[in-house]
Amino acid sequence: MSTILISGAGRGLGLELATQYAREGWQVIGTVREDAARKRLEKLGVEPQTLDVGDFGQARKLGERLKGRPLDILFCNAGIIGKRGMALGSFDYESWDEVLRVNVLGAAALAEALVDNVAASGKKTIAMMSSRLGSITESSGMTLPYGTSKAALNMLVKGLAATLAGRGVKVVALSPGWVRTDMGGESAPLAPQDSVAGLRKVLAGLKSTDSGKFFSHDGSPIPW
C-alpha cells in the first residue's frame, strides 16, 4: 500500500487531497492543528498528526514519530495568503514574515524532517503546493507577500531537486489553479474536486526527468 503525507489536511485542498487518496486505498497521513480537523480526518480513515508548520521544532518531532515509515509522497500543502493589497509605503512586515515562515521555511523544515522517509519509499516524491503567482511572468502586487513566498518556494523546489537527485527523489512544484476554497473565494472557476483530481494525475505520471519542474493541475508546465 502506498503512503502519502499531506500537510494542512484539515480543510480546503488539503482535505480534498486526503479524501481522494483515502478513497483510492492509499494510507494517508494528514497534519492538522485543531481537534475539529483531526475528527474530520479520522472519519475519512486518515491518520491525523498534529503540526503547526510555522513551528520548526514540531516538524522535527513529527520526523521522530514517523521514523522508519516510508512515505511515497510528501505533499507540502499547508500555506497562508497573508495580508492582501500591500503597496510601497504601507508594507506590513510582520504579516510578510509570517507568510514566508509558513509557506517557505515550514515546507523546508518538513522536507528536511521527512526526506529519509521519502527516500525509503517506492515513489520517492516530494510535491510543494505553489501558485502561478510564484512565476515571474504572473506576479501581482495585490498579493505581494504570497507571491514572493511562492517564488521562494519554487526556488526551494529547484534546489531540493538538485540536492536529492542522487537519492532518486523527485521534487516538483504544483499549481492547483484558481480554486473555490476559503483562500480562492467563491468566484473561483475550479471546484476543489477537479483541481485535486488533476494534481493527482500529474503526480501519478511523473518521471525522473520532471524533478525540479513546475506544473499546473492540468499537467501543463509553468515557466519559473
Q: At 55, is the secondary structure helix, strand, or coil?
A: coil
Place of cell 499547508: 78
pLDDT beyond 70 at 155 = yes
pLDDT at residue number 72: 99
Res. 138 pLDDT band, cuts 50 70 90: low
Return the higher-pLDDT residue of 189 and 49: 49
Q: Which residues, in sequence order, are CB contacts of 2 under 8 Å at separation 6+?
A: 26, 27, 72, 73, 121, 122, 123
Grid cell digits, residue 182 = 476559503
Tens digits of per-residue pLDDT, 22-57? 999 999 999 999 999 999 999 999 999 999 999 999
Q: Examine the pLDDT at 200 and tell me if it is beyond 80.
A: yes
Share of the chain above pLDDT 70, in %: 96
Residue the block writes with cell 475528527: 39
* pLDDT tens sequence across 56-104: 999 999 999 999 999 999 999 999 988 877 888 989 999 999 999 999 9
Structure confidence at residue 134 (pLDDT): 64
